[in-house]
Amino acid sequence: MHTLAIPALLISLLLPLTVFCENCEKPYNVEILVSDDVNGDIKNLTAQGAITLHQDVFQVLVANQTIKKLCQNYVIINNELTVLQLLNNSIEDISPSAFNISATLALLKISENPLNTIKKGVFNEVRTKELDLSYNNIAVIEADALENNTYLEIIKLNHNFIKEFDPNWFTKTPNVYKISAIYNEMTKIPAYAFVNMTKSRPLKIRLSANRIEEIDPMALEGAGIIDMLKLGGNRIRELPGQLFVNKTIKSLQVDTNKLQCFPEEFFNSTLTELTFEDNTSFDCACLIRVKNFVEDRNVTVVYPAIICEDKSKGVQIVFNKDKTFKIPIIKPSTV
C-alpha cells in the first residue's frame, strides 16, 4: 500500500501543471519564405520560435517543415500581410489564439497536414476573406469554430473526412457566400443548412463527391439566392420538391447520382443551368419532360449526353440539348 501511495501523491502534484500549462513548444529553425509582392523577390528566413515579421510583405509561405502543434501566439504579425500559407508541415493540432495577426488577409491556407479537428478559438478572430483548409485530415469542425468571424467570405474544406454539415458553422459569419467541401464523407444536407450564409450576394455551394443520400426538404429554407449548387457524385435518389418552392437556384449540378426523375416543383423553377444524370435508370418519360423544360426555358444543359433505356420499346433514348436520338438496345452477344 505504501509503495502505491507515493506515486499517487506525485501524480496529484504534477496533474495541475499538465492541466493548466499548455504543453506546447514553438519549434526552432523553421524555414519560412517571404515575398514582397505577387511576383516579387522571395526571401528565405529562419524562424526561432514564433513566426513574426519586421516589415510589410505580400506573402508568408511555410512549407515542408515539421511543426506538430501550432501553439498559442505561434504567428504574431503586426505588419501588412496578404497571404499566409502553411503547407505540409505535419501540423496535428492548432491551439486557440495560435494566429495573432493584425492585418486583414486575402487568404489563409493550411493544407496537407494531418490535422483532425478545427477547434473554437483558432479562427473566430482571424481576419481573412478566404480560409482554405483543403487536403488535411479534418473530421470535426466544432459548431462555433467560425462564429463571429465577420471577415470570412469563402470557406474551402475540400478533400477531408468531414461527416456532418453543420449549419452552425455560419452563425454570425454574415459575409460567407461560398462554401466548398467536395471529397468529404457527408451523408445528408440538414434543414436550414445555408440560412446563416450571406443574403447580400448569391451563394456558391459545392458539396460534390460526398456520400449524400438525404437532403432535408427544408435544406434551402431561408437561404439567399443560390448562384450554384453542386451535388454531383453523391447517392441522391430523390430531390425534395420543397427545394424548388419559392427559391432561386441558378445553376444546379446533380450528375452521377441515383436520380430517376425530378420533383414536380422542379419544372416550375427558374433554373438557368442544369447538369444532370448519366444513369440509364433515369425515367424515360421524365427525361422527355426535362428536355421540353430546358428547351422552353432556354436552360443551359451542361453535360447533355443523357441516356435512358425504354425497355418496353427496346430503345435507348439519348438526349442532347437540341436533338433526341433513339438507339436500339444492343444486347450483349453470347459467345
- In this structure, are residues 258 and 233 in contact, taking their beta carbons and an 8 Å threshold? no
Beta strands in 90-177 (DSSP E): 93-94, 99-101, 105-111, 117-118, 128-132, 140-141, 154-156
Residue type for 9, please? L
Q: How many residues bind ligand NAG (CB under 6 A)?
A: 35
Work out which of 9, 10, 40, 78 binds ligand NAG, going by CB under 6 A. Answer: 78
324 touches ligand NAG (CB under 6 A): no
Binding mask 106-125 for ligand NAG (x = CB under 6 A): ------x-------x---x-
> Between residues 18 and 268, which has the closer beta carbon with respect to ligand NAG?
268
User: Is 79 a binder of ligand NAG (CB under 6 A)?
Assistant: no
Q: Looking at beta carbons only, is 180 or 263 nearer to ligand NAG? A: 263
Q: Binding marks (x or -) toward ligand NAG, 268..287, rule CB under 6 A? A: x----------x-x------
Among 199, 237, 313, 326, binds ligand NAG (CB under 6 A): 237
Which span sits near ligand NAG by CB under 6 A: 132-140, 149-157, 165-173, 309-317? Answer: 165-173
Neighbours of 252 (CB within 10 A): 26
Binding segment (CB under 6 A) for ligand NAG, from list 17-25, 132-140, 168-176, 285-293: 168-176
Q: Which residues contact 205 (CB under 8 A, 6 or more apart)?
A: 178, 179, 194, 226, 228, 229, 230
169 contacts 193 by C-beta, under 8 angstroms: no
**Beta strand 93-94 pairing with 69-70:** parallel
Is residue 302 near ligand NAG by the rule CB under 6 A? no
Q: Give whichever of 138 and 219 is closer to ligand NAG, judged by the CB atom.
A: 219
Report, in Å, the least distance between residue 89 CB and ligand NAG: 8
Taking CB under 6 A as the rule, does residue 63 contact ligand NAG?
A: yes
Q: Which residues contact 32 (CB under 8 A, 6 or more apart)?
A: 44, 45, 46, 47, 51, 60, 61, 62
Q: Which of 201, 250, 258, 321 binds ligand NAG (CB under 6 A)?
A: 258
CA 326 to chain centre: 40
By CB under 6 A, tell whether 297 contacts ligand NAG: no
DSSP secondary structure letter of residue 142? -
**Closer to ligand NAG by Cβ: residue 123 or 184:** 123
Q: Which of 12, 39, 44, 334 binds ligand NAG (CB under 6 A)?
A: 44
- Local structure of residue 265 (DSSP, 8 states): G
76 touches ligand NAG (CB under 6 A)? yes
For residue 226, give the H/E element and its range.
Answer: strand 226-230
For the CB of residue 237, give the shortest distance to ligand NAG in the complex, in Å. Answer: 5
| Kind of pairing between the strands at 300-301 and 99-101 | unpaired
The secondary structure of 28-95, three-state, reads CCEEEEEECCCCCCEEEEEECCCEECCCCCCEEEEECCCCCEECCCCEEECCCCCEEEEECCCCCEEC
3-state secondary structure of 319: strand
Please give the residue ranges that form the binding site for ligand NAG (CB under 6 A).
31, 33, 44, 61, 63-64, 73, 76, 78, 88, 97, 100, 112, 120, 124, 144, 147-148, 167-168, 171-172, 192, 195-196, 237, 246, 258, 260, 264-265, 268, 279, 281, 298
